[in-house]
Amino acid sequence: MTDATDHSLPPIPEGFRVLYSNFMTHIGPVWYRADADGCSLIVDMKPHHLNGGGTVHGGMLMSLADTLLGRTISAVLGDGKAATVSLNCDFLSAAKVGERLTGRGRITRQTRSVVFLAGELAVGERLVLATTGIWKVLGEREAS
């Protein structure tokens, strides 16, 4: 067990909560806040997030992109009401241990059956990942 508090980084701002799902707990902690126009994430990069080259693994960044856009939908539709159909991720720059990644997600278009989203992960002003995704709105039978 390790204290998740990284004293080299400023405290997590007010209004953010830790996401509790199995995978997010395993790779996190991932902090989340629903905003009026989308959703924000904060994750501090740790040694277990890295690839062999010493930068943050693409799988970690894509996991955060999926969660960022998924939580953005949850903020509008409620939990467990939509599932990822497609996700595109462009890796714009590398992230390193000790850096704080912030994410912003937003809905670009919502229909009865699908939702189109976009978002970014950044360290300060530097963009790390740009993502777009399509989610399917689940029917009563599919939704949990």
Q: What would the DSSP string read from start to end of 32-50?
A: EEEETTEEEEEEE--GGGB
Contact 99, 45 (CB under 8 A): yes
Among 90, 109, 113, 126, binds another protein (CB under 8 A): 90
Whether cis (ω within 30° of 0) applies to the bond prior to 29 is yes
For another protein, which stretch binds (CB under 8 A), given 82-90, 101-109, 111-119, 120-128?
A: 82-90
Three-state secondary structure call for residue 120 = strand
Nearest to 120 by CA among 132, 106, 104: 104
**Is 57 an interacting residue with respect to another protein (CB under 8 A)?**
yes
**Is 124 an interacting residue with respect to another protein (CB under 8 A)?**
no
Among 8, 53, 125, 141, binds another protein (CB under 8 A): 53
Among 39, 41, 60, 118, binds another protein (CB under 8 A): 60
Among 35, 37, 51, 108, binds another protein (CB under 8 A): 51
**Is 141 an interacting residue with respect to another protein (CB under 8 A)?**
no
CA distance 96 to 49: 9
Q: How far is the CB of 111 from another protein (least distance, A)?
A: 18
Nearest to 65 by CA among 102, 93, 35: 102
CA distance 137 to 85: 10
Q: What residues from 1 to 30 belong to the interface with another protein (CB under 8 A)?
A: 1-5, 11-14, 18, 21-29
Three-state secondary structure call for residue 144 = coil
Q: How far is the CB of 6 from another protein (least distance, A)?
A: 10
Q: Which residues bind another protein (CB under 8 A)?
A: 1-5, 11-14, 18, 21-29, 46-53, 56-60, 62-64, 66-67, 70, 79-80, 83-91, 94, 144
